[in-house]
């Protein structure tokens, strides 16, 4: 088999092989976890294996049907991370009262995330459609950020007002907002990249754009930051700021924007530190958690002890003490995993994130369309910065924030939003490959008979 058919079949075959390898890793972790409790193979092993293979099979068949030319490695990496996340949550269920049943809930949310993944591939057949509805999507993104402030819907949990409740369903609309706002940022920056890059006025030695050009993108960004600060959502505030600044730099190539952005960030951080008590507490915990080891610093100290206890190869699945770490299933899932898998296992997982982000940027680099390029780069930046923020917080590189580790931490809203991000990256990759094949076929039709074929 040669030509486009072979190209299509090879990509999907590689995806299937890598995905099954990820399923085997997750299943092996589940077996080791069960063996730590009893010296027999768990009776529900085949049911677990069937569910895992079934979930991956649905996602794989959806890509094969709806985006057959898409990147072959994104979905297997996600399957590996989600599998490790489920095994970790199942481990935490063993260390806490069984009434929580977090693993079962996480499995349900993975299923919902895959449904959202399939729905995104079905609904978004052309990424340029999103570009046309940029202002509608902007309004939807801002509305999603405002929903937790509505008294009848939103409520506060763990010191932050991020959640809304509809009946028995609780979720964070801000997770959807981060994707929606990146759509608007990408569309607007592509339309105005030349103006923003060239500048229209001189401010000392630096040329800056007119306010009327930069205002429509800066105002929604600032509004988003103010809303999230009022909700005490420091992690998402930092995430939005970093993603916006990165997209602005990628669109214009101007280092001046980075310098100004870091100066503004420093001023805002200093203002928040002196104004908001929860910001002051987190910075002080970061600087010296041992000042209050049984109080405010307890969580971070237990995180550092867990990572240290893991050493190079870890204590082994099921043999650590993740129950000593508060909120281990959400904000501190990395130390819980790192204690039992050690530095080697933690590094392997972080390499998975590096590969995921790198493949996202490769999708951006390969596409010739400006909007798709900047949109894919923005989506990859979300995954990369979100991973850095949570990993940096629990390892005391930066102050603690409230974001989750993509695909691994317990939580439905983040999981579903990240599955949507991967689906959009696959859609862009499929469009790029399809356009390249169509272009090659067009050149072949126009080539004179007997002419040599270029390599």
What is residue 120's predicted lDDT score, i.e. its pLDDT? Answer: 96
When comparing pLDDT for 180 and 436, which is higher? 180
Phi-psi region of 253 (alpha: psi -120 to 50; beta: other; left: phi over 0): left
- Greatest alpha-carbon pair distance for the chain in Å reads 81
Alpha carbon distances (Å) from 187 to 140, 245, 246, 272, 379: 15, 15, 15, 31, 13
Structural element, H or E, at residue 161: strand 160-166
Is residue 38's pLDDT more than 80? no
pLDDT digits (tens, 9 = 90+) for 6-25: 666 688 899 999 999 999 99
Tell me the pTM.
Answer: 0.90
Higher-confidence residue of 205 and 378: namely: 378
- Could you give the residue ranges of the DSSP H alpha helices within 193-254? 193-198, 211-230, 234-252
Tens of pLDDT, residues 344-370: 999 999 999 999 999 999 999 999 899
Q: Which two tokens stand for residue 94?
A: 């063993």
% residues pLDDT > 90 (the chain) = 37
**pLDDT value for 326:** 85
Q: Are 430 and 122 in contact (CB under 8 A)?
A: no
Confidence of residue 455 (pLDDT cuts 50, 70, 90): very low
Q: 397: Cβ–Cβ under 8 A, 6 or more apart, which residues?
A: 391
Give the pLDDT of residue 158: 61
């Amino acid at each position: 088999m040669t030509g486009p058919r072979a190209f299509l079949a090879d990509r999907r075959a590689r995806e299937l092989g890598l995905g099954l390898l990820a399923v085997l890793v997750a299943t092996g972790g589940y077996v080791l976890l069960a063996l730590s409790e009893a010296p027999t193979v768990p009776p529900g092993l085949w049911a677990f294996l069937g569910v895992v293979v079934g979930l991956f099979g649905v996602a794989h068949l959806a890509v094969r049907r709806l985006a057959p030319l898409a990147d072959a490695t994104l979905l297997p990496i996600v399957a590996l991370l989600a599998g490790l996340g489920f095994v970790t949550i199942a481990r935490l269920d063993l260390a806490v009262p069984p009434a929580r049943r977090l693993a079962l809930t996480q499995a349900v949310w993975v299923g919902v995330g895959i449904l959202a993944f399939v729905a995104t591939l079905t609904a978004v057949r052309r990424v340029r459609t999103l570009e046309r509805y940029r202002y509608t999507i902007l309004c939807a993104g801002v509305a999603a950020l405002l929903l937790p402030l509505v008294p009848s819907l939103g409520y506060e949990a763990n010191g932050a007002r991020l959640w809304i409740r509809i009946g028995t369903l609780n979720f964070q609309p801000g997770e959807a907002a981060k994707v929606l706002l990146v759509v608007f940022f990408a569309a607007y920056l592509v339309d105005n990249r030349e103006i923003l890059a060239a500048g229209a006025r001189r401010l000392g030695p630096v040329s800056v754009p007119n306010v009327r050009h930069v205002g429509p993108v800066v105002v929604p960004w600032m509004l988003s930051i103010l809303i999230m600060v009022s909700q005490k959502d420091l992690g998402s505030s930092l995430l939005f700021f970093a993603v916006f600044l990165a997209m602005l730099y990628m669109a214009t190539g101007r280092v001046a924007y980075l310098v100004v952005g870091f100066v503004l960030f420093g001023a805002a951080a200093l203002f928040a530190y002196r104004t908001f008590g929860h910001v002051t507490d987190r910075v002080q915990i970061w600087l010296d958690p041992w000042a209050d080891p049984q109080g405010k610093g307890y969580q971070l100290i237990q995180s550092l002890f867990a990572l240290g206890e893991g050493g190079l190869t870890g204590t082994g699945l099921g043999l650590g003490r993740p129950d000593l770490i508060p909120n281990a299933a959400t904000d501190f899932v990395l130390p819980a995993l790192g204690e039992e898998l050690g530095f080697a296992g933690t590094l392997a997982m972080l390499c998975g994130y590096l590969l995921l982000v790198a493949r996202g940027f490769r999708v951006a680099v390969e596409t010739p369309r400006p909007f798709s390029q900047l949109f894919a780069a923005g989506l990859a930046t979300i995954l990369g910065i979100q991973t850095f923020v949570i990993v940096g917080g629990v390892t005391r590189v930066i102050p603690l924030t409230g974001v989750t580790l993509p695909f691994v931490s317990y939580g439905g809203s983040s999981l579903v939003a990240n599955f949507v991000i991967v689906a959009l990256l696959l859609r862009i990759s499929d469009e790029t490959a399809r356009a390249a094949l169509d272009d090659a076929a067009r050149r072949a039709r126009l080539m004179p008979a007997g002419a040599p074929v270029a390599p």
